[in-house]
Amino acid sequence: MVFRRSHLATVEQKFPYFKPYLDRALLPECNAFYLNPLLLKTGSKVDPHIDRSLRSYCKTINPPLFVSVLYVEVPSDLVGGELILRSPKRQVGKIAPQSNTLLYFQGDLTHSVNPVSSRAIRLSLVCEQYSLDNDQLEDIPPFEIESRVTPVERQKKKPGKTRSRSSTG
């Protein structure tokens, strides 16, 4: 989800259950946000990167001022899944996830998540928090929901019969 601070009320109206989180997590000096869930299952990891998800709207954007992470679901049998923070020359942090923990780090730090091993998922809410000038802010949608998930059409199959679909229509 992408939104400007000016449209925070819209986010809260559409997702009222996010309000306590947003009240606590959003920093007052930031005016644009990219909020997304991060679901990791066994074998998943996140490669080293610096967040700039709003770059698809504004090519000249700098990294976020801060990134916040709320650990929503951390399985009791979790092995791995630590957040690794790096400055250009060295590792500056290694944080083991804990349920209901909210943390912040500088948005210009390279970060990654170590491989996860668990019978359940590790779920966190990641919020890139930007402080943009007025020209950059104009390029950011006031409120938009993005999805990388593509809908899957479910077909009802009768036992013993199969259906196929023509690629022409």
Give the model confidence (pLDDT) of 97-131 as tens digits: 999 999 999 999 999 999 999 999 999 999 999 99
pLDDT at 166 over 90: no
- In-domain check, residue 133: yes
Q: What CA–CA distance (Å, rounded) separates 35 from 10?
A: 14
- In-domain check, residue 168: no
Return the closest-CA partner of residue 103 out of 71, 68, 63, 66. 68
- In-domain check, residue 12: yes
What percent of the chain has a predicted confidence (pLDDT) above 90?
84
* Structure confidence by residue, pLDDT tens digits, 45-89: 999 999 999 999 999 899 999 999 999 999 999 999 999 999 988
- Let me know: does 163 contact 157? Beta carbons within 8 Å: yes
What's the pLDDT band for 161 if we cut at 50, 70, 90? very low
- Let me know: does 129 contact 107? Beta carbons within 8 Å: yes
- In-domain check, residue 46: yes
Amino acid identity, residue 146?
A: E
Number of domains in the chain: 1
Mean pLDDT of 8-13: 98
- In-domain check, residue 151: no
- In-domain check, residue 155: no
Residues 38, 42, 47: CA angle, nearest 5 degrees: 55
- In-domain check, residue 159: no
- CATH code (residue 13): 2.60.120.620
Phi, psi (rounded to 5 degrees) for 87: -90, 175
Strand ordering across the sheet containing 91-95: 46-49, 110-113, 83-86, 91-95
Q: What CA–CA distance (Å, rounded) separates 37 from 21?
A: 13
User: Domain range for residue 31?
Assistant: 2-144
More confident residue, 14 or 161: 14
- In-domain check, residue 74: yes
- Let me know: does 115 contact 45? Beta carbons within 8 Å: yes
pLDDT of residue 29: 98
